[in-house]
Structure 1
Amino acid sequence: MVEVGVPKVSVVVPAYNCGRHIEKLVASLLRQSLPADEFEAIFVDDGSTDGTGERLDRLAAEHPHIRALHIENSGWPSRPRNLGIEAARGEYVFFADDDDWFADQALERLYDCAKTYDADVVIGKMAGHGRAVPRELFRKNRFDATLENSPLIDSLTCHKMFRRSFLNEHGLRFPEGGKRRLEDHALVVRAYFLSRHTSVLSDYTCYHHAQRGDARNVTAARLEPASYFASVRDVLDVVTAHTEPGPLRDRLHRRWLRNEMINRLRGKRLLNAPEDWVEQVAAEVQQIIKETFAPGVAAGLPPLQRAVAYLTEHGRVADLRRLARWESGVAGHGRIDALRPDEHAVTVTVAAELRSADQPIGFRADGGRDVLVLPVDEISPEVLDSTAQVRKARLDVVARRRETGDEIFLPVQFQTERVTGGDGTETVHLVHRATTTIDFRALNGGRTRGSWLLKARITNAGWTEDAQLPLLFICPADGVPPRIRDERKVWNWLRSAVARRVRR
């Protein structure tokens, strides 16, 4: 039972010079289906100089369930969040950013999930707007998720709901003292290990995570390699302290090798970075691979990332750049092979593949193995062995609501075809085909009003790439049959019109 007068949820928001970017968050809090007397929002103004503090004071004066605290500028979200925890009265605490926003029923659904499953931590489905959000984690509801049985490690931002007594019981706070990168990782990883029950709510998009167009949020600046990777080592030490050597520790460590290290040294991200910065990052990553990770950490990566780790470990920065130039052209390519509408449902058949520029991603036969073909020499076939990944390659079809960014995995039947290169070699590439039936009475729990785009999502050999499909489903109301706009016909009409003008 909740004490009388105690809010169910406290939303803690660090705010610094956010200007108009805070308006979406404020509006979403005022629209919450959870009654205003059952939650509170605590904005901690981190010494703003642009009028944000005054805006928050006016907001608090108008709405009793909103509070504004003011502190001298700390320069980082950790201290405002910690002060928000101390000021919070709610049974649960949710950490939000000032440029993000909530779906209308988010707090009510998250709280109900927490109470139903007695959860210390609840993770609500996120939609990304210019920012990456976890995909596999939100494929289904997970009401007793652990680091062993689910991809919790893919979600390390603090935009979650935590039982306040749980935070206090274990002294879970964000590290302070300057600009400490990965401050959310430090808290969230500990919380995962200590939580008695963790739930993932995937059937309703709760939180919208946005990248500001002006990129002025405090964590957007380019990292300083030495201090950043010191923070990475600190989080890796947390994992090491809570696990024994073996597959689980390797899998968890692999998350930081993949996301914080390898992904900074590949593709457009590497090519767009200053050369001296790349050299520093490569040196830091090389040291961590050699000194911290067991061999199973890199060995469990897909072949492309294994290749990047291999080149980094051996100090081959020039080859990293050569590989990045090639990978920067990799994209998913998809097409509609069949479209069969019914009264409330539409059946779509999709074909898709990965290409670099105009060439399909290829695999070479080598002693019964599929070996990824890359434009870099002297990488052993063992590093590039893609046999397991080719076997597990998949094609998903995803519906994305254009107005909100909600993404729904559609049920598919899919198969993969091996196509020979036709150049006299034993190289093959993969063409994936999938069929899905979209029932617009059931899609997104029947909440279908809006315009829905389709994407083919190809996962293979270290890439997950989306290919936009030329279909738009327009639903004027929830659960009604959609109007289908086939963009292929639009483009064909435009091409024909242009051709007619040229002939004149």
Structure 2
Amino acid sequence: MPVKVSVIVPVYNPGPYIEDCITSLLRQSLPPDEYEVIFVDDGSTDATPARLDALAAEHPHIHVIHQENSGWSGKPRNVGIAASRGEFVMFVDNDDRLGDEALERMYDYGVANKADVIVGKMAGKGRPVPVELFRRNHPHATVATAPLIDSLTPHKMVRRSFLDRTGLRFLEGRRRLEDHVFFTEAYLRADNVSVLSDYVCYYHIKRDDASNAGFQRFDPVGYFTNLREALDVVERYTEPGPLRDRLLRRWLRVEMVERMSGRRLLAMPDDYRRALFKEMHAVVVERFGPGVAPGLRPGQRIVAALIREDRYDDLVAYAEWEAGVRPSAVPAGAAWRDGVLRIDLGVEYTTADGPLTVPANAPRPPADGAPRDVAEAASWLAAAAEDGFETAAVDVIVRDRESGASFFQPVDVTRERVPAEAGGTRLRLRATAAVDPAAAAGGDPLDGGLWDLYVRVGLGGWTKECRLGPAPAQGLALPPAGIVAGRVVLPYWTQQYRNLSLDVDRAVKSLGLHRLTPADATVSAETLTVALPLYVPDSTTVAVRLAGASGRAVDRPALLTPVDGVHALLEAGLPLGELRGALWRTELRLSGGRAVKLPLLLRVGRGPGAVEVVRPAPPGMLRRLLRRARRLLGGVRRARTTATTRRA
């Protein structure tokens, strides 16, 4: 078979962190004879070379190239390209992993859309990844129609003939941002770029030891020298004007403004951030024309202006104020409706002094220029929030706690202006999110695991995320677990911070069934009926298992029927003739073999109609009864021993 995809993995001393990468490459849905993996060992000094050689000996589609250390990832990727035989090449880092269907989906999508570059949806585990780019699929994307420029890491699939036609290769040597240079040029020269957003293709993972190359502190002079090379590519392949300004704005925003903002700036040692500031000031003055900074958001424009005007101390003061600006998302209600969990929430931006308040007649921020001081900056941004309030946006995101996979949920938003007690106006947003477990993962059902809810708020000069929570001080009752799309979905408050999360298919012991009593169950006409605190949108087929003390088990089909939105009626036929003269534990058996114990015992006598539902004794009571029985048995034994001694 022709090789469809060549996966190129630069390797340098990954230690055990390469194992997840290897596992994901072996688990691909694409048949092994349709893809190859090329590990380029860049002079590793740990046990990795031997591990890779053994792997290649076992799997014919895996190849290993050993070379002397080159200093960075550029040369290993180029060596891999030269050795590749695939129609496409896919770049993967040795401490990341792929989704199981990533190669197959990206290849098919690229072929269907005649793409030169395919960008697969990314999930970040402890690492930032683009968000806006992956709101939807972009089968035919350009830098003018989609935020491609937000994704410049190398983890993409590229058509091999495109690389040969353009001669595009990675810059080599010990340097930074070689991927920026490569993919900026790729985007600008490709006939088509396709963005696949409905499946997580790539998991970008922060190592436990934080030794990923991207987390190491860099030399500011070298870094911004390399950054200028990416700017050179933009200028080489675009004409002066709005598009060029928008592309250059990406480096001003991401590599400079965001590094010099809020908590991120304040976390750096002063000498290091001063060195960064000096190099940034030089780039801003040299390379960014008058059309670049005005396209930033108001708060970002303030930071950019302070960098350009060389006002380091004012920048730090602004960062200290801005670090206290954050969104607050308070849950106001949650309920199941038509198989969908609908969550009401209230959203507002706050500062260190309380809710963000817009003063009357606040001055508007200019398109360019820095404020005199922090007070003026705060006034400018409050006014910007007021001006943009009608377009303020609220997104609700479900994020897998284990993998970082994130998916936007449908949201309805309303806006209200509320007079503040001390004067001025507060800007409040009300939203209702619809989380459908059958389609919440980009059209697919949620996988089993813990899913945290995040709220992304765009207002005025900011777009920031926060958790949905904490639970209101006065308390908010959450709906019961739901059995939806074959999954058990339990809304719950996290223990430490009281934020709202979803447990999918894990919480078999925390579904509230422990509160059942015999009064919730009846046995009539050989049918067991139990009212359960569970939500089901429609009648659902399950099973009931009856387990006897002898180890015998009886499984019976059962039906769950919705009652009132918070209860379901469980009905199961009982073969009483087979159950007579025994005590039976009861379990609810769900799809996928998940078992949920019910705190109810079925006592079946030997006579007709002798059936009773009882609750087992609490564990503490059982222990007390057992200790009492042991004491009584010990007393009997001592009495027998005494009687035997007397007779002797």
TM-score normalized by structure 1? 0.90
> Which has the higher mean CA deviation after the structures are superposed, 467-476 or 406-415?
467-476
How far apart in 2 are the matches of 1:257 and 1:106? 32
1:119–1:199 CA contact under 8 A, matched in 2 = yes
Q: Which amino acid aligns with 2:440?
A: L
Q: 1:95-134 to 2 correspondence within 5 Å?
A: 95-134=91-130
1:44–1:71 CA contact under 8 A, matched in 2 = yes
In the TM superposition, residue 183 of structure 1 has moved relative to its aligned partner by 0.5
How far apart in 2 are the matches of 1:361 and 1:373? 19
* Alignment partner, residue 214 of structure 1: 209
* Alignment partner, residue 151 of structure 1: 147
* Alignment partner, residue 60 of structure 2: 64
1:329–1:356 CA contact under 8 A, matched in 2 = yes
How far apart in 1 are the matches of 2:60 and 2:484? 34
SS in 1 for 2:29: coil
In the comparison of the two structures, how many residue pairs are matched? 485
SS in 2 for 1:239: helix
How far apart in 2 are the matches of 1:283 and 1:490? 41
* Alignment partner, residue 80 of structure 1: 76
In the TM superposition, residue 302 of structure 1 has moved relative to its aligned partner by 0.8
How far apart in 1 are the matches of 2:378 and 2:327? 27
In the TM superposition, residue 176 of structure 1 has moved relative to its aligned partner by 1.1
SS in 2 for 1:265: coil
How far apart in 1 are the matches of 2:418 and 2:273? 37
SS in 2 for 1:255: helix
Question: Alpha-carbon deviations, 1:257-307, whole Å to 9, x = none?
Answer: 000011111222222222222222222222222221122211111111111
In the TM superposition, residue 346 of structure 1 has moved relative to its aligned partner by 1.3
1:364–1:373 CA contact under 8 A, matched in 2 = no
Q: Which amino acid aligns with 2:491?
A: R
> Which has the higher mean CA deviation after the structures are superposed, 275-284 or 303-312?
275-284
SS in 2 for 1:264: coil
Q: 1:45-60 to 2 correspondence within 5 Å?
A: 45-60=41-56
Q: 1:479 aligns with which of 459, 480, 485?
A: 485
1:414–1:433 CA contact under 8 A, matched in 2 = yes
How far apart in 2 are the matches of 1:490 and 1:291? 49
In the TM superposition, residue 482 of structure 1 has moved relative to its aligned partner by 4.0
How far apart in 2 are the matches of 1:476 and 1:69? 52
SS in 2 for 1:347: strand
How far apart in 2 are the matches of 1:486 and 1:358? 31
SS in 2 for 1:295: coil
How far apart in 1 are the matches of 2:307 and 2:382? 15
* Alignment partner, residue 442 of structure 1: 439
Residue 475 and residue 151 in structure 1: after superposition, are their counterparts in 2 closer, same or farther (change >3 A)? farther
* Alignment partner, residue 171 of structure 2: 175
Q: 2:295 aligns with which of 282, 297, 300?
A: 300
* Alignment partner, residue 495 of structure 1: none
SS in 2 for 1:118: coil
* Alignment partner, residue 468 of structure 1: 467
2:481–2:491 CA contact under 8 A, matched in 1 = no
2:106–2:120 CA contact under 8 A, matched in 1 = yes
Question: Alpha-carbon deviations, 1:362-405, whole Å to 9, x = none?
Answer: 44444784899997156698798626544432110111223432
2:115–2:193 CA contact under 8 A, matched in 1 = yes
How far apart in 2 are the matches of 1:87 and 1:29? 18
Question: Alpha-carbon deviations, 1:144-188, whole Å to 9, x = none?
Answer: 0001111111111110000011011111111113x2211000000
How far apart in 2 are the matches of 1:208 and 1:124? 10
How far apart in 2 are the matches of 1:478 and 1:410? 17
2:124–2:403 CA contact under 8 A, matched in 1 = no
Question: Alpha-carbon deviations, 1:325-344, whole Å to 9, x = none?
Answer: 22233333211112121352
How far apart in 1 are the matches of 2:256 and 2:217? 14
Supply the RMSD in Å over aligned alpha carbons: 2.7
1:223 aligns with 2:218: yes
* Alignment partner, residue 496 of structure 1: none
* Alignment partner, residue 265 of structure 1: 260
Report the identity percentage: 46
More helix, by proportion: 1
Q: Which amino acid aligns with 2:434?
A: T
1:447–1:478 CA contact under 8 A, matched in 2 = no
How far apart in 2 are the matches of 1:474 and 1:101? 35
Q: Which amino acid aligns with 2:204?
A: H
* Alignment partner, residue 553 of structure 2: none
Q: Which amino acid aligns with 1:277?
A: Y
Residue 180 and residue 259 in structure 1: after superposition, are their counterparts in 2 closer, same or farther (change >3 A)? same
TM-score normalized by structure 2? 0.70
2:127–2:205 CA contact under 8 A, matched in 1 = yes
How far apart in 2 are the matches of 1:12 and 1:370? 48
Larger radius of gyration: 2
Q: Which has the higher contact order (CA 8 A, sep 6+)?
A: 1
Q: 1:432 aligns with which of 424, 429, 432?
A: 429
1:21 aligns with 2:27: no
* Alignment partner, residue 137 of structure 1: 133
Runs of 5+ unmatched residues, structure 2: 472-477, 499-648
In the TM superposition, residue 483 of structure 1 has moved relative to its aligned partner by 2.9
